[in-house]
Structure 1
Amino acid sequence: MERLTAPTPLRGSNGISFGPDGRLYVAEYLPGRISAVDVSTGRTEVVAGPDSPLQSPDDLVFDADGTMYVTDVAPGLVWRREPGGGFTVAADGLKNPNGIAALGHRIFVNEMTFSGRLLEITDGTKVLAEGLMMGNAMQFGPDGYLYYPHMFPGEVYRISPDGGTPELVAEAAQTVAVRFGRDGVLYVLSIDEAGTIVRIDGDERTEIVTGIAGLDNAAFDAGGRMFVSSFASGGITEILPGGTLREVVPRGLAGPYGVTAGADGTVTVADHYRIAGMYQPFAHALAADGDLLHFTSQYGQAATFDRATGASRTRAENLDQPQGIAVRPDGTLLIAEAGTGRVLAIAPDDTRTVVAEGLGRPVDVALDDGGRCHVTDADRGAVYRLDDGKPLALAEDLHTPQGLTFSGGRLFVVEAGRRRLVEVGPPSRVVAADLPVAVPRPVQPALFAEGLPGVPRQFAALATAPDGALLLGASGDGSVIRITPP
C-alpha cells in the first residue's frame, strides 16, 4: 500500500475558540468530533470523538466558567460540555443551529437558514431577532453588542443582548464569520475561494487575501495572534502581520468521498466541497470518462463536468441520496440511489430508467467486462450482481460494504464496518485489513430543515487505476491510498 496524499489531521475545521487551557478547540462538522490544537506545536488531540453524542458540531464557545457549548446542526441541538467531559443538552428544537457566542454565563445562538432566528438560550429560549439570511459565526463586540452576519447578501448587524432593533454596521460579500481582535478591530471573513478577510477599523477598510478557500472562523489568542479555519480543507493557519501565513495544522482532504482515475492515470477526488479544483458543494461519488467527470451530489443531483471546456450540466435532479456512480461505454450513467433502494440508468440524452429496485441501501456500483452491473447493499451486508434487474448475491454477511470495483476481472469491495478490503469469491478473502476507513456511525437523514444538505454518510470509495492498482478513499484519515492486490 502507498499513500498518494497525506492524512488530514482536521477533516474540515469549522468553529474555533480558545479554551481555558490555552489550546484552540476546533469543531469538525464532517467527522462529527471536536479536537484541541496546541498552536505553538501544531499537536492535535481529539477530545470528543465517535463515543460522544455529537453528530455534526459546527461552532463552539466557552462561558465564564470554562464550560463549552457546541451547536450540533443536523439534530438541531446545542450541547453543554462540562470541564469534566460530560455532555448534556442545553437547547433543542432549533433549525440548523450554527453561530454561538457567550456573554459571561449567557449563551446566544443563531440558525443557518434562509429565515433564521437569533436566540438567547441561557434560561429557556428567547428570540432576539428573526429573518436572518444564513446565520453563522458571531461575537460580542467591545461595545457590549452582539455582532452577527447575514451570509447572503453579505451583511453584518449588531443588536443589544437584551433585544431591540438590529442595526446594519458593515457589508462584505459572502460573510461567514464576524470576529473582533484584542484591540477591538472588527474582522469579517468571507467564504469565497480567495479566502478574503476584511479588516474594519472605524472608517478604514483593509482586505487580507489569504488564498484559503472556504474560510469558516477565526480566533485570537491572549497575545492577539489571529488564527483561521477552513471548512473546505481543514487545517489551522495563523495570519501574521502584513497578511503572511503560518501553517499550524496542515490542510488536506475533507473526505475523500469519491475517487476515480483517468486513462492517463491521473487520480481525481470528489472531496465534498471540491472536484478537480472546482468548487462543487456536497459532491459525493465520481466516475471519469475521458475529459468528462460524472458525479453525484448531496443536493440530489447527478451531473457531468467537462474538463476540456469547463462546462457542466445537470443530468438528473431530486434523486433520493444518490451515491455511487459508474459509466457504461455508451455514456449511460448507473447510479446507486440509496434513499429509494434502487439502481438507476441515465442515458446520454438524460432519459432515466430503473435498473433494479427493492434493495436495502445501495451505495456503490461497478461494471464487469461484460457490462453487467454489480452493487453493494450497505443495509443488507451484500454484494449483488444484477441479472435482468434481479439481485444475485455474490457475497453476504458483510459489515457495511461500500466502495466496489473490478480489477483484472476480479471484484473488490471495501467492508467499512470491519475496515478491510475483500476480494469477492467464491471463496471471498480478505486482501487488506485495519484500513483507515471510517466505521459507519448513525447520522440524521441526508436532508434537513429548509432543503439544506445534511450530514453526509462517510463513504469509503474504491476505484481502479489503468495499471490495475486499486485506489482507496481512506475516509478515516483523509488520505488516498494506492493498493496493489496480490
Structure 2
Amino acid sequence: MTTRTRERRSRHDRRRSAKRARRLRLIGLGIALGLFAGLVYGIRWPMHLHRHWHITETIPLSRPNSLALDDDGALRYVTQATIPGALVRLTDTRPKLVFGDFGEPDGLLVEDRILTVSEAEDDGRVMAYNRDTARLRVLARMQRPEGLLRRPDGSLVVAQNVPEGRLWVLRDDAEPAVLVEGLNKPESLCNLPDGRIGIAESGRGRIVAYGPQGLEVLADDLDNIDRLACPADGSLWAVISRVRSGRLVHIVDGRHRTIARHLRQPQGIVLLPDGSLYLAESRANRVLRLAPRD
C-alpha cells in the first residue's frame, strides 16, 4: 500500500469517525430533549383527578396496554405494547412472561384456561393461548383486529379497526362471518346490560350500540376514543387515548364527566365490583388503580 493510499484511507476514516460522532451527539441530544420535554410536561401539566377520586395503587410496568382479571377477580394479565409485544402475568414479585414475540397487542380476554389476544397489525392474528398446555392457536387473520368480546352464545366478536371497519363473529369449526359493517375504525367492545354490543367507534369519536334494531348512538364528542367499559348500571366508561393529553371519561345519562385528565396515552381499563377500576397509562409505564373517595 502506497503512502498516498494510506493517507486517503486515513482521511476517509477520520471523516467517517467524525460523522459517527456527530450522529451519536445528535441522538444523545434528541434523547435529552425528549426527557426534558417529558419532565417539563409532567411539571406543568400533571395528571389531574376528579376531586371525588384518588389513586390507591400504582403498578410499574413497561408500556401496559390491555388488562384482564383472573378467575379470582384480581388483576393478573396485562399485554405490553413493547417491541416485540408480550403478555405477562402479574405476581407478587415481578411480571412473569406468558408468551411474547408477537406484534402490537390490543384486545385481551381471559376465560377459564384460555387467554385470547388480538394483534393490531395489517395481517394481524387473533390468538388463543392454553395456559395448561402452553399451546398457541391462531383463530383468524385479518387487517387490524383489535377489540374482543365473548357473547352469551359462546361466539367471539372481533372489531376490525379500519375506516370501513366490521365486526366479525368467530365460532369453532366455522369460517369468520360479518356481524356489522360500515363502521369507522371500531376499537373496543363491551356487552351492554340490555344485551346489545357497545362499540367504541374511534373514526367518528362516538359510542354506538348494536342490537336487533341496528345501530344507535349512545354518546359522541369523544375524539380519540380507544377503550370502552360498560358496567351493569348502564353508564359508560371511555378512555380517550392521546400521548400527553389523554382522559378517562364517565358518561351517565348522556352527560360526560372527566375523572382523569393529562394522562399519557391511557389504554386498557377494567372495572372492579367495589366501584374502583384499573387503568393502563402506557406512556407513563404504569397501571393505576383509581377509586371513588368515601
* TM norm. shorter chain > 0.5: yes
Residue of structure 2 in register with 1:134 after alignment: 185
Query: Secondary structure of 2:89's match?
Result: strand
Residue of structure 1 in register with 2:272 after alignment: 221
Deviation of 1:159 after TM superposition, in Å, equals 0.8
Q: Which runs of 5+ in 1 are unaligned?
A: 243-486
Deviation of 1:33 after TM superposition, in Å, equals 0.6
Deviation of 1:86 after TM superposition, in Å, equals 1.5
Residue of structure 2 in register with 1:73 after alignment: 120
Query: Secondary structure of 2:248's match?
Result: strand
- CA distance in 1 between partners of 2:285 and 2:195 (Å): 31
Deviation of 1:56 after TM superposition, in Å, equals 2.6
Residue of structure 1 in register with 2:17 after alignment: none
Distance verdict in 2 for CA 1:49–1:76, change over 3 Å: closer
CA contact (8 A) 2:186 2:203 kept: no
Residue of structure 2 in register with 1:186 after alignment: 236
- CA distance in 1 between partners of 2:285 and 2:168 (Å): 28
Aligned positions of 1:258-269 closer than 5 A:
none
Query: Secondary structure of 1:142's match?
Result: coil
Residue of structure 2 in register with 1:251 after alignment: none
Q: Compute the RMSD of aligned alpha carbons.
A: 2.6
Size of the alignment, in residue pairs?
A: 229
Distance verdict in 2 for CA 1:36–1:185, change over 3 Å: farther
CA contact (8 A) 1:12 1:235 kept: yes
Higher relative contact order (CA 8 A, sep 6+): 2
- CA distance in 2 between partners of 1:88 and 1:217 (Å): 24
Query: Secondary structure of 2:214's match?
Result: coil
2:151 equivalent among 79, 103, 119: 103
CA contact (8 A) 1:194 1:209 kept: no
Aligned positions of 1:150-189 closer than 5 A:
150-160=201-211, 165-171=214-220, 172-181=222-231, 183-189=233-239
Is 1:48 the counterpart of 2:99? The answer is yes
Deviation of 1:173 after TM superposition, in Å, equals 2.3
User: What letter corresponds to residue 102 of structure 1 in structure 2?
Assistant: R
Distance verdict in 2 for CA 1:223–1:87, change over 3 Å: farther
- CA distance in 2 between partners of 1:58 and 1:188 (Å): 16
Query: Secondary structure of 1:137's match?
Result: strand
Query: Secondary structure of 1:232's match?
Result: helix
Residue of structure 2 in register with 1:27 after alignment: 79
- CA distance in 1 between partners of 2:60 and 2:268 (Å): 17
Deviations 1:26-45 (A, max 9, x none): 1113331101235xx68422
- CA distance in 2 between partners of 1:62 and 1:222 (Å): 17
- CA distance in 1 between partners of 2:285 and 2:90 (Å): 13
Residue of structure 1 in register with 2:197 after alignment: 146
Q: Which runs of 5+ in 2 are unaligned?
A: 1-31, 36-58
Distance verdict in 2 for CA 1:239–1:182, change over 3 Å: farther
Is 1:199 the counterpart of 2:250? The answer is yes
CA contact (8 A) 1:182 1:220 kept: no
- CA distance in 2 between partners of 1:143 and 1:42 (Å): 40
Deviations 1:344-380 (A, max 9, x none): xxxxxxxxxxxxxxxxxxxxxxxxxxxxxxxxxxxxx
Distance verdict in 2 for CA 1:76–1:137, change over 3 Å: same
Q: Under a length normalisation based on structure 1, what TM-score does the superposition of the two structures give?
A: 0.43
Deviations 1:4-61 (A, max 9, x none): 99xx9533111211122533311113331101235xx6842222134xxx33322211
Residue of structure 1 in register with 2:38 after alignment: none
Query: Secondary structure of 2:288's match?
Result: strand
CA contact (8 A) 2:157 2:170 kept: yes
Matched residues, percent identical? 20
Query: Secondary structure of 2:63's match?
Result: coil
Going by fraction, where is helix more abundant, 1 or 2? 2
